[in-house]
Structure 1
């Protein structure tokens, strides 16, 4: 009974730590989502469009994180990379000939049909991955050659554009990702020891939470899909496929900055 009590105490302690660390990793994304929801129901600034306010708020929060060393310069670089990559895709997806989704409110700070704050929504994913990588001290049971991961995510990125004109190969890309990453265990440090889980399962869980956030964001009228034009409805679960692929793209981009390290089984004295 004493042994079971110790196990329960350890589990609850690590579960608490896991939640705290995840919340810390989500700080930028959580801030953005909170601002989206808050300004949907209360926005007092008549002189500034809501989307422009969200952009300025995101920039100000990034400066705050850097000034108070809550974010490293390396993580800020990741955010800039994601902002650029995402904005290019947004320009295509929201173009008049495609219109996969749209931003229904007016703005000044933007390019084409895209308010510039939109790039920060993708940057929030990159920020989360970079921060959670550092906070949990990620290690891997193995890792494929870097060039092969870059080739895979390049094809994923291209397919986000090309599937509008030629055959959609997303399921082939998912199959390729399972072949490449399916056997890999990710090790994450809770307190004094590393725990592990399948890397692909981790991606799926994060994709699920992004989908939840997407439903909140579309409900807050930040962007809408064609079927949400007349009235809001839940984003179809099929979008999880796109978020899984985007999650993989994000992960590999971060891996170019935070190089993956292989986990070595600890000796009795070196994992304290």
Structure 2
């Protein structure tokens, strides 16, 4: 079965007659896992490359340059095979730019929140170009999950308010170095804004619901785990990891959760705009 055929099957599954009880739970659990794995396709392939490509590189090509080439190849393959649309690619490029701008600021000499210690030909302002794909991977997951799970949001707050909060979240990643960290004030505001919001998703043939805020926190947690693995493999270093590896501070979990809110808001607003102008997916 090709991945495109798998997509079609996941979107239109055939429900066996009399499916109930533990059998239903098992079928829904397996389908949920398949959809999650498929939504993580880009992230999974990209981070597999992160773990497999040696730090010294291959055939004289530095590791960071290889990772950029691999990320571009994965994106090209997904578009050419129909696993990703051009509109989805445009959104992912936007996430890449947003993430790369943040990386440039955070790694600058005056800030130095983390660093990319290895040499690469494709470094710009000291940041390897592949780094933006780590943010794009989160965007890719949200976009693919939205489609595969037929995701809908009940009681979504006004889109302009969500957009303003997302902009403030992004700004805080920069301004907290100068005027203080307001993440918990922003988190409190987001809790109020999304207090009634539920995400409706379809693992198999029936809709399920969960609080939207919970989904932000869960996704942020798994990104934090991936960050720990990435720093263990020396993809980048925080200052306290220069001598020896140590676990990434749990406070980064909140940062990633806020970043997920921002990326989710961009996707939701883009879909809202498309719906208003009646542009089909």
CA distance in 2: counterparts of 1:213 and 1:40, whole angstroms = 18
CA distance in 1: counterparts of 2:78 and 2:108, whole angstroms = 33
Greater CA drift, 252-261 or 137-146: 252-261
CA distance in 1: counterparts of 2:157 and 2:54, whole angstroms = 43
**SS of the counterpart of 1:117?**
helix
- The match for 2:134 is 121
The alignment status of 1:217 with 2:230, answered yes or no, reads yes
In the TM superposition, residue 257 of structure 1 has moved relative to its aligned partner by: 2.1
1:28-52 residue CA offsets vs partner (Å, 9 max, x unmatched): 1111110111114784322x11101
Indicate if the aligned counterparts of 1:40 and 1:220 stay in contact, CA closer than 8 A.
Answer: no
When the two structures are aligned, how many residues end up with a matched partner? 256
TM-score by length of 2: 0.88
CA distance in 2: counterparts of 1:45 and 1:199, whole angstroms = 46
> For the structure 1 residues 105 and 148, does the alpha-carbon distance in structure 2 shift closer, same or farther, using more than 3 Å as the test?
same
> For the structure 1 residues 203 and 197, does the alpha-carbon distance in structure 2 shift closer, same or farther, using more than 3 Å as the test?
same
In the TM superposition, residue 255 of structure 1 has moved relative to its aligned partner by: 1.2
CA distance in 1: counterparts of 2:64 and 2:78, whole angstroms = 21
Indicate if the aligned counterparts of 1:143 and 1:260 stay in contact, CA closer than 8 A.
Answer: no
- The match for 1:7 is 21
CA distance in 2: counterparts of 1:260 and 1:19, whole angstroms = 30
- The match for 1:55 is 68
- The match for 1:146 is 159
* Structure 2 residue runs without a partner (length 5+): 1-18, 275-281
Which structure's relative contact order is higher, taking Cα pairs within 8 Å and 6+ residues apart? 1
1:173 alignment partner, one of 186, 191, 208: 186
2:33 alignment partner, one of 10, 16, 19: 19
In the TM superposition, residue 6 of structure 1 has moved relative to its aligned partner by: 3.1
Where in structure 1 do 4 or more consecutive aligned residues deviate above 6 Å? none
The alignment status of 1:74 with 2:56, answered yes or no, reads no
- The residue correspondences of 1:194-209 to structure 2 (distance < 5 A) are 194-209=207-222
1:184 alignment partner, one of 183, 186, 197: 197
Indicate if the aligned counterparts of 2:220 and 2:260 stay in contact, CA closer than 8 A.
Answer: yes
